[in-house]
Amino acid sequence: MICEVNGIPVYYETVGEGRPFLMLHGGFIDHRHIQHDLEPIFAGHPGWQRIYPDLPGHGRTPAPEWLVRQDQVLEIVLGFIDQVIAGERFAVAGVSRGGYLARGVLAKRSADVDGALLITPARHGAAPAESLPQKVALVKDERILSELHPAEAELMTGYVVQDRSALAGIRRNLEALELTDQAFQKRIFENYEFSFDVDQVPPCFDKPVCILAGIQDAVVGYLDAWRTLAQFPRATFALLDRAGHYMPTEQNALLHALAGEWLRRVEEHSTEIRDG
């Protein structure tokens, strides 16, 4: 489906019916990675309509040359919400850069959001080197590594767990990587942070939150995510070993368990609002 926002045709897909749940994917790929990672949690949680947009410059959504700042991307996301989720309460999830955009949504629409799931959220375009762990590979399947094509081998270096699951994740994302607008990526990294301090707004978001990070994440680290806890009095923060920036692949079972528990809390909170 297509939703036109500020002249940009935003491509999106929906799965299921019920309360809206906005899913914001990470940078350089498209909605398919977050859809693959999070759809299994809904097997035990019916009644949600999952909404998966391709963000500008990713997948099937173009990024015109005038789109140069993260504030503008957030405006597109908010405009999308105003059209597709008009007048409804919703939950939001974001992975990596999508996690940062999800925090922007909380800053601008917190009264409408019943809960937030932030997975390896990327606060900075380039995280300070001193906040990042050294890149490591804790698990290596040498047989698989010997069979990789050059593009696959390069991507595999980003994984803490280099096994068949990682290879499957890489191969799922190769097409999305080819669709990425590289010129847009360059522009957005030059103006990555919002014009407002996302760590100050909203001063307190008292709905259920789940923040998942990898202790070996050498891309964005985990300290920025940890420092947000003062804003989220109902947050679960899980820092996972054997996990880097691609934690959803490396710790898939824990992702589903923790995200499922968070979703149960969101459902309880939503019931309290309706009954109250």
129 pLDDT band, cuts 50/70/90, is confident
Residue 124: predicted pLDDT: 86
Report domain extents, the chain. 2-134+182-275
Residue 233: predicted pLDDT: 96
Q: Give the mean model confidence (pLDDT) for residues 131-141.
A: 94
Q: What is the per-residue pLDDT across 66-92, written as a single tens digit (0 to 9) for each?
A: 999 999 999 999 999 999 999 999 999
Q: How confident is the model at residue 125, as a pLDDT?
A: 81
Binned at pLDDT 50, 70 and 90, residue 274 comes out as low
Provide, rounded to the nearest whole percent, the portion of the chain with pLDDT above 90. Answer: 92
pLDDT mean across residues, the chain: 95
Q: What is the mean pLDDT of residues 243-264?
A: 98
Residue 197 region by backbone torsions, left for phi larger than 0, else alpha for psi between -120 and 50, else beta: beta
- Say how far apart CA 133 and CA 244 lie, in whole Å: 10
Nearest-angstrom CA–CA distance, 38 and 184: 27
User: Residue 271 pLDDT more than 90?
Assistant: no
CA distances from 134 to 29, 141, 156, 219 (A): 24, 20, 16, 10
What is the model's pTM?
0.96
Beta bridge partners of 211: 118, 237
Class of domain 2-134+182-275: alpha beta
Q: Give the percent of the chain with pLDDT over 70.
A: 98
pLDDT in tens, 102-119: 999 999 999 999 999 999
The answer to whether 93 touches 116, Cβ cutoff 8 Å, is yes
Predicted confidence (pLDDT) at residue 276 exceeds the cutoff of 70: no
